[in-house]
Amino acid sequence: MSRKRKVLIIDDSAVARQALSRICSDSEDLEVVGTAPDAMIGLRKIESLKPDVITLDVEMPRMDGLTFLEKLMMSNPLPVVMVSAYTESGSSAALRAFDLGAIDVVEKPRMEVRDGLNRLAELIVDKVRAASYARVATPAERFFVRSSAEPVEISPAEREKIGSLPNQHVIAIGASTGGPQALSSIFRVLPQELPPILVVQHITPSFTKSFCNSLDHDSQLTVQLGTEGAYLRRGHAYLAPGDQHMLLRRTGDDLTLTLSGHDRVNRHRPSVDELFKSVAESAGNFATGILLTGMGVDGAEGLALMRDKGAWTLAQDESSSVVFGMPRAAIEQNGADQVISLAEIPNAIVEHFIVESNN
């Protein structure tokens, strides 16, 4: 049996520290090696305990969690799961945490903290476990990704050709751990003429809307939450709403969305597999499937089915993945036509549709 993953909990609330300690300790593969009531004590414990992953509160005395996260990532990058309250400022803090290098974010209830965290126990354990295996980008790597994010080069003629493709084309993307950063880097550079894009990202449901707004702000595409019965439009991307599966349906010649609250698949709702399987059945060889970084196997079976139905499929490679779980599973199931780095994905998408427009 592999060794337990070492967890350090930094939170100024004694109740939260106790609840998070119990939740993580109840998992057979996690070990809480220490707790700290503030960032300065936490820093000393990082040096002595050498944790695999840290849970870090946002709102703390002496030094707030975001300031500490920024300093940590510049000096000693470690996997961090931020614990942020669900408020407007909390959502902003969650997005800022991703930008600074946090692996994931968990919602911290503002009232009845112990009971609220206990209700999220399974989600917390999944996120902490996944983060403990994550490859953490250095400050230089994050700077390079942001500074080199130039829009994909595409001529006016190519834009016109892509824009004239049949309305049956659709792109489906799935991501989990490390996905918010990966999706941001992709959406920042894609042209607006592309076919509609459907996205499932495993993220705390209460932060989904803020993440959607962030993608929309930084992209040429119009990014919105998927809604029941929505007709897909070129130049638009649809993010699965929190705690609902998002599926593609064919209505005559039109492609529409439907939402469902049915059981979790691969422990997730929304599930990448549910989206990919619906796209395979509804769009067939007009579909493109892309599976990005993430822990577990969600999306692997669906990507393989898409490929079987004639779709063009991509998996993110190991070197650029934060966690090479979902892409690895897809590759093992022969679900990927190509395995490429995150930086190569936007150009690959555009080049694919340029070729399609010439056929």
Same-domain status, 277 and 172: yes
Report the pLDDT value the prediction gives residue 146, as an integer from 0 to 100.
61
Q: Are residues 163 and 126 in the same domain?
A: no
Last residue of a domain, one of 142, 175, 198: 142
Q: Which residue has the tokens 């196997």?
A: 297
Question: How many structural domains are present in the chain?
Answer: 2
Residue 159 is encoded by which pair of tokens? 């834009």
Residues 121, 154 share a domain = no
Same domain, 98 and 179: no
Same domain as 306, residue 171: yes
Same-domain pairing of 175 and 287: yes
| Whole-number pLDDT of residue 139 | 72
pLDDT value of residue 88: 57
Which one has a higher pLDDT value, 87 or 292?
292
What confidence score (pLDDT) does residue 141 get?
73
Does residue 157 sit in the same domain as residue 93?
no
Higher-confidence residue: 230 or 93? 230
- Same structural domain, 125 and 70: yes
Sheet holding 80-85, edge to edge: 30-36, 5-10, 53-57, 80-85, 104-108
What pLDDT does residue 89 have? 60
Rounded mean pLDDT of 87-113? 82
* Residue after which a domain boundary falls, among 142, 161, 184: 142
Residues in the chain: 359
Q: What positions carry a catalytic annotation?
A: 176, 202, 298
Stretch 63-75: mean pLDDT, rounded? 93
* 180 and 128 both lie in a single domain: no
| Percentage of residues of the chain with pLDDT beyond 90 | 81
Task: Specify whether 113 is located in the same domain as 197.
Answer: no
Residue-range definition of the domain harbouring residue 248 = 150-358
Task: Give me the mean pLDDT over the 162-169 stretch.
Answer: 92
pTM of the entire predicted model: 0.94
**Residue 216: is it exposed, middle or buried by C-beta count within 10 angstroms (0-12/13-18/19+)?**
middle
Query: What distance, in Å, lies between the first and last C-alpha atoms of the chain?
Result: 53
| CATH code where residue 90 lies | 3.40.50.2300
Report the pLDDT value the prediction gives residue 90, as an integer from 0 to 100. 61
Task: Give 227's pLDDT tier (boundaries 50, 70, 90).
Answer: very high
Report whether pLDDT(3) > 60. yes
Task: Please say if the pLDDT value at position 54 is more than 60.
Answer: yes
Rounded to an integer, the average pLDDT of 255-279 is 97
Report whether pLDDT(148) > 70.
Answer: no
Look at residue 70 in the predicted model and tell me its pLDDT: 94
Name the band, by pLDDT with cuts 50, 70 and 90, for residue 87.
low
Looking at the fold, whether 100 and 197 belong to one and the same domain comes out as no
Last residue of a domain, one of 142, 174, 199: 142
Q: What is the CATH number of the domain that holds 321?
A: 3.40.50.180
Question: 162 and 311, same structural domain?
Answer: yes
> Which has more confidence, 136 or 141?
136
Q: Is the model's pLDDT at 71 over the cut of 80?
A: yes
